[in-house]
């Protein structure tokens, strides 16, 4: 019996060890899960006193809302319980805690427009995303970002952390690292020296702003408006003072953008050193200043390119036509392409910079991501024509099938290319009309570029004369008149031949080479007039005419006319009429 029962003891020990191992693994797993939900600490803000009943800290939204309400009541002693003062000595917490709470309230009120409703209302701060596209949906968090401020090019985050003492309920507090940066942020985002002289009764809230801000902001805008008006007038004086030419033209075109730039920089200096407003007004003003600065710099750059274009057109290219060398027309086309590139870069840079500064994608990112496909379809449909014209414009600028100043034959009309813009091409017809053609329409239809390699062009002059006209005489006169024309070049290519014949007339075609199409047209008209005058004055019988046969006598063969005797009963008058 003893031998048979000896195996029970090792078996019992093995089962006990396995059970204890499973319990330990489960305990470690539970501890790991708990560590992902909060920071375990031995104590919170010891020495600060008991937590008042009106301090709510179970959720991030509740914690910050309670902090703002206490700050509005100037109860910074209670508001200090929303801060984790672990970095301070226990005896310093009661003295520095309320001051740090006051400074943080000013930083949050002025530094960034904080919408408490956007904070999580859950105790575990888990992200709620019905679409399920966010990778962290449903997972508890123990650390979230409250605000992100920039100072001297460095980013400072104010974060909330979830802390638990023993078996007590976890609470959300501003992290110790964020508390350590409060004095530094307060120096940059705290109230200005001007606000020290504002009576307290004007510091009460009225809507989104305080009472004194409703008075100060109009005065602020009026001040920078006067500065801009003065700068605009000064630039106008400089434009008149500069000698005539491109400097005065450039100065006359940058009055408004230069005034806006100075206004923006003046407002920035006033906000940094003189006066500071709450986050609502400051956010709006700073975004507006960013737009003004970007627009002003981009507009000045465009005005500079436009002035260069004007100078090149007047002094280098001159009249926009194809009589100038190809390289000069290519330079002008490149400058117009540069203008469009500057516009595109400015618009893109301003959009990206402004969106990054106002952090639009952080608040609306999930919504935009969820509806990205719908937005892409809508933008694609609505902007198809515009985007197509823009891409076609860049295609023309890079491939250069046409250049500024080229002569093209488009839909049966001679036109000079005056400008290639984002969405349209401006053509100047020979009679000084302007054709505005969408870029996509232009590139999708065949056109003839008469200036690709050379502006020289053959012209054909046709005359219709009688069969008895002497072709050699007309040929000699044509060569004589053509050589007298200044616009006719390559005289060895002059030619004159009979190219058609009917029973009554013949067609004589004369060919000449002109320096450019329009000059060739003028030369053709001049030579035609001279040939017509020569034939009219010297050989009028060469003109085509209807021949009526009055007799069978052939003059060309020298036959004598035959007289038919009168028939019986025929009178002398009837015979004469015959």
Is residue 578 in some structural domain? no
What are the DSSP calls for 417-481, one per residue? EEEE-SSEEEEEETTS-EEEEEHHHHHTS--EETTSS---EEEEEEEEEETTS-HHHHHHHHHHH
Mean pLDDT confidence for 438-466? 80
Is residue 559 in some structural domain? no
What pLDDT does 121 receive? 84
What pLDDT does 509 receive? 93
| pLDDT tens readout for residues 15-61 | 666 656 555 545 444 444 455 688 888 888 888 888 888 888 889 89
Domain interval for residue 286 = 209-319+328-358
Mean pLDDT confidence for 186-210? 72
pLDDT grade for 533, boundaries at 50, 70 and 90: very high
Number of independent structural domains in the chain = 4
Is residue 560 in some structural domain? no
367 vs 306 pLDDT, higher one: 306
Asked if residue 499 lies in contact with residue 461, where contact means CB atoms within 8 angstroms, the answer is: no
What pLDDT does 504 receive? 84
Asked if residue 506 lies in contact with residue 541, where contact means CB atoms within 8 angstroms, the answer is: no
- 45 & 186 share domain: yes
- 249 & 343 share domain: yes
Answer yes or no: is pLDDT of 342 > 90.
no
pLDDT grade for 531, boundaries at 50, 70 and 90: very high
- 215 & 294 share domain: yes
What pLDDT does 150 receive? 78
- 183 & 68 share domain: yes
CB atoms within 10 A of CB 487: 18
Answer yes or no: is pLDDT of 120 > 80.
yes
- 448 & 391 share domain: yes
Is residue 143 in some structural domain? yes
The domain that holds 467 is classified in CATH as 3.30.70.100
- 160 & 283 share domain: no
Question: Residue 277: which of 110, 72, 106 has the closest Cα?
Answer: 110
- 104 & 172 share domain: yes
Phi first, then psi, for residue 388 (nearest 5°) are -65, -40
What pLDDT does 287 receive? 76
Is residue 558 in some structural domain? no
Answer yes or no: is pLDDT of 264 > 70.
yes
135 vs 268 pLDDT, higher one: 268
Answer yes or no: is pLDDT of 360 > 50.
no
| pLDDT tens readout for residues 496-520 | 999 999 888 999 999 988 877 778 8
What pLDDT does 530 receive? 92
The domain that holds 412 is classified in CATH as 2.30.30.60
Minimum mean pLDDT among 27-36, 247-256, 394-403, 445-454: which range? 27-36
- 184 & 157 share domain: yes
Minimum mean pLDDT among 194-198, 315-319, 436-440, 459-463: which range? 315-319
Share of the chain above pLDDT 70, in %: 71
- 304 & 351 share domain: yes
Is residue 351 in some structural domain? yes
CA 323, CA 326: separation in Å to the nearest integer?
Answer: 9
Is residue 568 in some structural domain? no
What pLDDT does 507 receive? 93
Average of per-residue pLDDT values in the chain: 76
38 vs 4 pLDDT, higher one: 38
- 259 & 350 share domain: yes
Mean pLDDT confidence for 460-472? 90
- 150 & 249 share domain: no
Mean pLDDT confidence for 267-279? 77
In three state form, how does the secondary structure of 428-444 look?
Answer: EECCCCEEEEEHHHHHC
Residues 6+ apart with CB under 8 A from 305: 335, 338, 339, 342
Answer yes or no: is pLDDT of 316 > 60.
no
- 486 & 439 share domain: no
What pLDDT does 372 receive? 47
Is residue 110 in some structural domain? yes
Mean pLDDT confidence for 262-282? 79
CA 541, CA 466: separation in Å to the nearest integer?
Answer: 8
| pLDDT tens readout for residues 371-426 | 445 555 555 555 556 666 667 776 776 677 777 778 888 888 888 888 777 778 88
pLDDT grade for 2, boundaries at 50, 70 and 90: very low
């Amino acid at each position: 019996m003893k031998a048979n029962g000896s195996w029970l003891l090792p078996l019992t020990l093995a089962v006990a060890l396995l059970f204890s191992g499973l319990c330990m693994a489960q305990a470690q797993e539970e501890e790991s899960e708990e560590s992902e939900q909060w920071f375990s600490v031995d104590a919170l803000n010891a020495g600060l006193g008991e937590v008042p009943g009106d301090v709510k800290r179970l959720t991030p939204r509740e914690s910050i809302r309670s902090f703002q309400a206490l700050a509005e009541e100037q109860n910074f002693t209670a508001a200090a319980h929303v801060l984790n003062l672990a970095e301070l000595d226990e005896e310093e917490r009661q003295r520095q805690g309320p001051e740090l709470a006051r400074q943080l309230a000013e930083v949050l009120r002025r530094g960034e427009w904080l919408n408490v409703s956007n904070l999580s209302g859950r105790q575990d701060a888990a992200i709620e995303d019905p679409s399920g596209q966010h990778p962290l949906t449903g997972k508890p968090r123990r650390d979230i970002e409250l605000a992100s401020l920039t100072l001297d090019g460095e980013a400072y985050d104010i974060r909330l952390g979830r802390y638990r003492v023993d078996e007590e309920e976890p609470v959300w507090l501003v992290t110790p690292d964020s508390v350590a940066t409060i004095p530094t942020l307060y120096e940059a985002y705290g109230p200005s020296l001007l606000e020290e002289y504002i009576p307290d009764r004007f510091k009460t809230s009225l809507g989104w702003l305080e009472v004194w801000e409703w008075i100060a902001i109009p005065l602020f805008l009026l001040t920078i408006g006067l500065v801009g008006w003065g700068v605009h007038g000064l630039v106008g004086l400089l434009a008149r003072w500069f000698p005539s030419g491109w400097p005065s033209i450039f100065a006359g075109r940058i009055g408004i953008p230069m005034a806006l730039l100075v206004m923006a920089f003046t407002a920035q200096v006033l906000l940094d050193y003189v006066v500071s407003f709450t986050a609502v007004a400051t956010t709006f003003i700073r975004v507006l200043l960013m737009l003004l600065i970007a627009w002003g710099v981009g507009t000045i750059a465009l005005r500079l390119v436009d002035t260069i274009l004007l100078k090149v057109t007047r002094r280098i290219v001159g009249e926009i036509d194809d009589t100038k060398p190809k390289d000069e027309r290519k330079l002008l086309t490149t400058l117009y392409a540069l203008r469009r590139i500057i516009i595109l870069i400015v618009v893109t840079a301003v959009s990206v910079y402004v969106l990054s500064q106002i952090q639009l994608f952080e608040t609306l990112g999930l919504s935009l991501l969820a509806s990205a496909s719908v937005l892409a379809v809508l933008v694609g449909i609505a902007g198809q024509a515009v985007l197509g014209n823009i891409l076609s414009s860049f295609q023309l600028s890079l491939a250069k099938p046409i250049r500024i100043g080229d002569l093209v034959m488009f839909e049966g009309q001679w036109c000079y290319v005056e400008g290639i813009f984002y969405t349209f091409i401006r053509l100047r017809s020979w009679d000084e009309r302007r054709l505005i053609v969408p870029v996509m329409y232009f590139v999708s239809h065949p056109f003839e570029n008469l200036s690709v390699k050379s502006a020289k062009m053959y012209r054909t002059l046709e005359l219709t004369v009688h069969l008895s006209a002497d072709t050699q005489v007309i040929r000699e006169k044509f060569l004589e008149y053509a050589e007298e024309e200044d616009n006719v070049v390559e005289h060895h290519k002059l030619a004159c031949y009979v190219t058609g014949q009917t029973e009554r007339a013949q067609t004589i075609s004369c060919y000449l080479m002109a320096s450019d199409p329009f000059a060739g047209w003028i030369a053709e008209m001049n030579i035609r007039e001279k040939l017509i005058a020569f034939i009219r004055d010297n050989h009028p019988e060469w003109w085509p005419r209807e021949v009526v046969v009055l007799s069978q006598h052939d003059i060309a063969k020298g036959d004598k006319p035959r007289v038919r005797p009168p028939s019986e009963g025929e009178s002398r008058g009837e015979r004469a009429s015959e």
